[in-house]
Structures are given as C-alpha cells and as structure tokens.
Structure 1
Amino acid sequence: MPELQRLRADHAPALLAFERENRAWFARTISDRGDAYFADFPARHRALLAYQDEGTDHFHVLVADDGTTILGRFNLMDITDGEAELGFRMAESATGQGLATEAAQAVCHLAATTYTLTSLRAQSNLDNLASHTVLTRVGFTVTGETVLRNGAAGRRYVKGLGGPEGRAAGL
C-alpha cells in the first residue's frame, strides 16, 4: 500500500525523477515548471524543507510500495491564520486507482489534527476533471472561477476543517 510521508531531504532524488518523468503529463493541465526548476532542483528542495521547518508550508509525498518511487505530491502551502492552500499532482502511472483521493483525505486529516488548520483552499484547471473529482470527494466545495498562473480558466474550492471537535473526529 502506498504511504504518505512528510517531505525529507532524502526524498530529493526520487522527487526529481518523479517531476522529470511526469513533466509532459503535468503540462497538459497545469503550468510547466520550466527548465530552471530542474536545473536548480537541489536548492529548491532545500528551500522547501526550510519552509516546512518554519511552519509556513507542509509538504508530503506519496511513496509506492517499493519504498522509493514517488507517486504523488500533496502540499499545504502559504499557511496563514489557520488556512492553507492544498496542491497536489499524481504520476500518470498512478492515476485512476483512487490513490489521489486517499492521499488528499489523509492530508486533510493531517491539516486538521497535526497542523491544527481550520480551512483549506484549492484551485484547478476547468479541464482537469480528475482534480475536481478528488477535491469534491474529500469535501471541497466550488466557490467560483479564477484565472490560473498559466492563464487558463480554473475553479476555486474551499473546505472547512471544523473547530476542535471537528479535528478530534478527523474532519
């Protein structure tokens, strides 16, 4: 069974492989990271770990049964006043198996319990039916439309995580 893990320094090689192997797949529905992302990957990875240590972001990877291959990323970013943005991406080879929904649910649970957040935001390309499905299955509701960084039309979502009683129940 794949395992959701908090991002660590030793994930760097597998995470870079995940991003490279799925670059064209991701570019179909989200902005391409650009060549500089790959050239500067070691420094970017260290920066993510620093943000995580500061508590402004929490990064997670979904690791395959082999213990090394990364199947997905699930990130809580820009944490402010108990709110964060959920972002995620899955390897093309791992889609259609319910893994994204399970991992997103697990991250929402961590957000409410471990990180004591009260709500999450998300957004996705209008054409990205898979992301819309995952978000609605884990309890996000559509709040409107937006223009994404790549200029594409997108949807905005929100999910309340409840107060202390909701966190105790895993909401």
Structure 2
Amino acid sequence: MPELQLLRPDHAPAVLAFERENRVYFVASVPDRGEEYFARFDQRHRGLLAEQGAGACYFHVLIGAQGEVLGRVNLVDVSDGGAELGYRIAERAAGRGIATAAVREVCGLAAGRYGLTTLRAATTLDNAASRAVLARAGFAVTGETQLCGRPRPDLTSQPRRLLHSGRRSRHRGPGGRGVGSARLTIALRRATSDRVPTSEIS
C-alpha cells in the first residue's frame, strides 16, 4: 500500500506530475484547475506549506513504491475543532481500496494527531464511487446543496455518532484543494469522540 506523508517542499515535482497526468481524469468529476494552477504551481506549493505551518490546513500525499504521488488527502479550513476533508486519487490507483484506506487514515490523524472532533466533506450526487468511499470511512449524509452560488434545498439528516474521527470550503472550485465539487452535492459529516486515534485513513 502507498505511504501517507504530510506534504513537504520536496514533494513538489511528484505532486505536479500527479496533477498533470490525471488532469483529464479528474475533470470528469471535478472542475478543472485551470492553466494558472500549473503556471504558478511552485508559488502555490509554497503557499500551501505556509498554511500548513500555521495550522490552518493539513495536506497529505500518498507515495507509491517509486516515489510517485498516487493520491492527495487534505484537511482544509481547520477551525473550532473541525475541518473539511477532500481527496483525489490517480486513475491508475482507482478501484483498489486506496481511497478508502487513505481517507480512514487521515480521519485517524485528524482525531489523534491534530485534535479535531468533526470533519466535513462533499461530493456530487452522481459520483457514486466518492460517496461510497466517504460512507465506508464513516461519513453520514447531513443534507443536499448546490455549490457555485446556486440555490440549495434544505434537506438534512442527523449525523451518526462514531468511535473515531471524522463548511462548505472556501477552497472549492477550479484550482481548489478539496474535493472540488461544483454541482448538486451531498454534504457529509463525521462526528467523532475526542482524540481517539485509529489505524484507518478520505
């Protein structure tokens, strides 16, 4: 299985290669990052590390046997014991359980290392694979919404309580760091007990 690592400066070339190689694949389910993202990648990478250093976000990469990036799982908008979880997995790594394992592991880190008690996530209604990953990681549906400033129906349900960790992010949309959903979504919430570590990963 790939190794989950906290984002570092030396990850930049592999992350850029990951984003380029999977750009067309990601566009099938999330908005394209746009040309500016790639043109200013080095500057952006430094900015992410600065945010991480300030404790505002936690960025993780899944590193394969050859040092390649196979996925990214991020916690953004860290505030008041909560954060938004977003992830993306390389096309060649899809369908192997890597996304589920990675999301579960990050959920464990959120509770055990970062001291978070609640995680939120969003995925489009037609993205069955992403919805399944989040459900297997313990997320429960709390409502439906439409992103990009469109009206949203007020459809919510109570989150279920779990033994281990689980805002609509300002980082969504083209070039965003999270799931990047831009259409009708299910908002998910993972409620957790305080600081209970797990052996699981978005």
Q: TM-score, normalised by structure 2?
A: 0.80
CA shift for structure 1 position 170: 6.5
Instruction: Output aligned runs, 1:85-96, within 5 Å.
Output: 85-96=84-95
Structure 1 residues 170 and 91: alpha-carbon distance in aligned structure 2, compared to 1, 3 A threshold = closer
Q: What is the one-letter code of the residue matched to 1:22?
A: N
Task: Flag the structure with more relative contact order, 1 or 2, with Cα contacts below 8 A and sequence separation at least 6.
Answer: 2
- Stretches of structure 2 that go unaligned for 5 or more consecutive residues are 149-172, 174-181
Deviation per residue, 1:50-94 (Å, 9 max, x gap)? 00000000000001122x110000000000100000000000110
Tell me if the contact between 1:77 and 1:84 (Cα under 8 Å) persists in the aligned partners. Answer: yes
Structure 1 residues 169 and 14: alpha-carbon distance in aligned structure 2, compared to 1, 3 A threshold = closer
Q: Which residue does 1:163 correspond to in 2?
A: 194
Tell me if the contact between 1:145 and 1:153 (Cα under 8 Å) persists in the aligned partners. Answer: yes
Deviation per residue, 1:102-150 (Å, 9 max, x gap)? 0100000000000000000000111111110110001000111111346
CA distance in 2, matches of 1:148, 1:40: 25
Secondary structure (helix, strand or coil) at the match of 2:78 reads strand
CA distance in 1, matches of 2:35, 2:198: 43
Percent identity over the alignment? 52
Q: Which residue does 2:72 correspond to in 1?
A: 73
Secondary structure (helix, strand or coil) at the match of 1:117 reads coil
CA shift for structure 1 position 101: 0.4
CA distance in 2, matches of 1:147, 1:50: 31
Q: Which residue does 1:153 correspond to in 2?
A: 184
- Stretches of structure 1 that go unaligned for 5 or more consecutive residues are none
Q: What is the one-letter code of the residue matched to 1:131?
A: S
Q: What is the one-letter code of the residue matched to 2:36?
A: A
Instruction: Output aligned runs, 1:95-134, within 5 Å.
Output: 95-134=94-133
Tell me if the contact between 1:125 and 1:148 (Cα under 8 Å) persists in the aligned partners. Answer: no
RMSD (CA atoms): 1.4
CA distance in 1, matches of 2:14, 2:198: 34
Tell me if the contact between 1:126 and 1:153 (Cα under 8 Å) persists in the aligned partners. Answer: yes
Q: Which residue does 2:137 correspond to in 1?
A: 138
Secondary structure (helix, strand or coil) at the match of 1:74 reads strand
Tell me if the contact between 2:105 and 2:199 (Cα under 8 Å) persists in the aligned partners. Answer: no
Give the structure with the larger helix fraction.
Answer: 1
CA distance in 2, matches of 1:82, 1:170: 20
CA shift for structure 1 position 169: 6.1
Tell me if the contact between 1:112 and 1:170 (Cα under 8 Å) persists in the aligned partners. Answer: no
Tell me if the contact between 2:123 and 2:186 (Cα under 8 Å) persists in the aligned partners. Answer: yes
